[in-house]
Amino acid sequence: MEETADMMNSNFKLSNRDRAVLMKTPFLTSLSGNSLMRMISVMSVISLTNRKSIFREGENADAFYCVLSGYVRLYQLNRDGREADIRICSPGDTFAECLLYGGTKYRYHAQTAEATTLARFDMQAVRDLAEQERDIAKAVITSLSKHLMTTMDCVANDRLHTAPQRVANYILTRCPVDGGPASIRLPFQKNLLAGMLGLAPEALSRAFSTLRRTGVTVRGRVIQVGDVQALREI
């Protein structure tokens, strides 16, 4: 991990916002009392600037993470250096917890996509706690199950929907109204949206061009929708 030693503090006082994000994760939401305190005791907090490596594929998997603020990009590289996005993690998302019982090496690269704060959980310490505390073992199972279901939904979405439909679905889930005009602002760059939707950047551009027919226009990070109902019919 790059440049994190001086930014890691196990006694870091979480802001109310970060604490609220952390407590809503499947990993911690069901815990209370001693079990919760023991989990927090094996957690540290990391603050990283944009485009910093969290871990690399092939490194020893000694921790998993929860995003408290910012965004994290998970990706793999082939032998030619071509990158393939696996997932974009938002606040509240956890990643690498599948390696608690699924191998000893990281299977992909993790990099911040902007200034980011992470909760870091020591992998072996959590394994030990899961053996000692039934509530923690159940929380681990719950987290892994939700991660699997999310992955299956993602695969199904990729196979069942065209690129314009994926983009339309993303917009619709964030529209503030059910009909008429609307406007949303992307929380990150469009290249990250492409990775989140399993698209190459050029495929995302073509999808936006297709959606222009339904009144969707894009200016920077702002997406204007002429008629939300018309977009639903894509």
Q: Is the pLDDT of residue 34 over 60?
A: yes
Evaluate whether 232 touches 181 at the Cβ level (below 8 Å): no
Establish whether domains 5-159 and 161-232 are of one fold. Answer: no
What is the full DSSP assignment across 31-86? --HHHHHHHHHTEEEEEE-TT-EEE-TTSB--EEEEEEES-EEEEEE-TT--EEEE
The pLDDT of 109-121, averaged and rounded, is 95
Kindly list the domain boundaries of the chain, sorted by start residue: 5-159, 161-232
DSSP state of 26: T
- Mean pLDDT, the chain, as a whole number? 89
List the one residue out of 48, 40, 36, 58 whose CA is nearest residue 4. 48
The pLDDT tens digits for 192-222 are 899 889 888 899 999 999 999 989 999 999 9
- The CATH code of domain 161-232 reads 1.10.10.10
- What mean pLDDT comes out for the span 144-173? 90
pLDDT for position 85: 87
Q: In what order do the strands lie in the sheet with 109-112?
A: 53-55, 109-112, 72-77, 83-89
| Phi, psi dihedral angles at 179 (to 5 degrees) | -150, 165
Q: What is the pLDDT of residues 49-67, one digit of tens each?
A: 999 999 999 999 999 999 9
> What single string gives the DSSP state of each residue in 90-131?
-TT-EESGGGGSS-SB-SSEEEESSSEEEEEEEHHHHHHHHH
| Residue 7 predicted with pLDDT over 60 | no
Predicted confidence (pLDDT) at residue 81 exceeds the cutoff of 90:
no
pLDDT at 107 over 70: yes
pLDDT, tens digit, 9 for 90 and up, residues 216-233: 999 999 999 999 998 998
Confidence of residue 21 (pLDDT cuts 50, 70, 90): very high
Q: Answer yes or no: CATH 2.40.110.10 is held by domain 5-159.
A: no
- Evaluate if residue 1 carries a pLDDT over 60: no
